[in-house]
C-alpha cells in the first residue's frame, strides 16, 4: 500500500490483463507471486527453513543493516522487521 502504482505496474508484467490500479491490482500481483512461488516449490514459512523464534532478533538486526533496506518504501525499525519475521514463522 506504500507504492500502489508500482505494484500495479509490476502486476501487469506478470499478467497483462491485471487491473491497472487500486486494491485489485495489488491483489492480482500477490496472486501472481503466490502462483510463481508455488510453481517453483518455494516455501513461504521461515520455520520450513529451520528458523526459530530465537533466531528472529539476530535476523532482524542483520536486515536493518542490509543496504537493500534503503529501497524499502516504508521506514522500518528492527522491531518492525522482527514482527514481520514472526508472522512468517
pTM: 0.68
Instruction: Measure the CA–CA gap between 20 and 9, rounded to whole angstroms.
Output: 7
Write out pLDDT tens, residues 9-56: 888 888 888 887 777 888 888 899 999 999 999 998 999 999 999 999
Give the residue, 79 or 22, on which the prediction is more confident: 79
DSSP, residue by residue, 34-49: HHHHHHHT--S-GGGG
Q: Do 44 and 88 contact (CB within 8 A), yes or no?
A: yes
Amino acid at each position: 500500500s506504500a507504492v500502489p502504482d508500482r505494484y500495479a505496474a509490476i502486476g501487469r508484467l506478470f499478467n497483462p490483463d491485471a487491473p491497472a490500479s487500486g486494491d485489485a491490482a495489488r491483489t492480482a500481483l500477490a496472486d501472481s507471486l503466490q502462483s510463481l512461488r508455488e510453481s517453483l516449490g518455494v516455501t513461504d514459512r521461515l520455520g520450513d527453513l529451520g528458523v526459530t523464534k530465537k533466531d528472529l532478533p539476530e535476523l532482524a538486526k542483520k536486515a536493518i543493516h542490509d543496504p537493500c533496506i534503503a529501497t524499502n518504501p516504508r521506514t522500518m525499525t528492527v522491531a518492525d522487521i522482527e514482527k514481520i519475521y514472526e508472522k512468517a514463522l
